Amino acid sequence: MAKYPGPDWLAVQPFPFAEARKMFTGPTFVEGLVSLKYYKRPDGSLAAVARFGPLSEGAPGQIHGGMILTVLDEALGGAAWLAGHPVLTVHLETEFRASIPVNAELLVETKIEAVRHRVVFVDGALIGPDDKTYAAARGRFLILDAAAQKRILGK
């Protein structure tokens, strides 16, 4: 059975604008929706623990696919930011493999596959404590140019 977070994982906040964002990565998490806690592993990869609350429900007793997609988008983008690539999502494909019950706690695994020019390719998955993959995603993220970074980060 998977254990997370691991003892050598470091709690991190991959987004420098989290204080202003509020919804998922910021301090005003909406109770009952979803929470994400991010960790940097010793190999430098980003993992997250996702807790899906009752306000994430779609079909009775199950988490809505849009919430699953949002969590994967956040975490894959977070992996790029943690690696020093300020990005925005340009393409995300998701494969839903099994329904996720309300109040589930799952591990989000991420892996940066490649960086080409201004595009970061990141893969990820939502994995249960039984090591079952509930959803997987592959994304392309555009590295922000200097002007966009200034607008978003205020630098």
Residue 1 lies in a domain: no
pLDDT at 24 over 70: no
Residues 69-85 have pLDDT tens digits of 999 999 999 999 999 99
Domain that holds residue 44: 10-153
CA distance linking residue 121 with residue 2, whole number of Å: 26
CA distance linking residue 40 with residue 27, whole number of Å: 19
Q: How many domains does the chain have?
A: 1
Instruction: State which of 6-15, 16-25, 100-109 shows the largest mean pLDDT.
Output: 100-109
Read off the CATH number of the domain in which 22 is found: 3.10.129.10
Going by pLDDT thresholds of 50, 70 and 90, the confidence category of residue 1 is: very low
Residue 5 lies in a domain: no
Residue of 32, 31, 9 whose CA lies nearest to 103: 32
Residue 3 lies in a domain: no
Going by pLDDT thresholds of 50, 70 and 90, the confidence category of residue 3 is: low
Residues 89-115 have pLDDT tens digits of 999 999 999 999 999 999 999 999 999
Number of C-beta neighbours around residue 15 at 10 A: 19
Residue 19 lies in a domain: yes
Residue 137 lies in a domain: yes
pLDDT at 129 over 80: yes
Residues 10-28: what's their mean pLDDT? 66
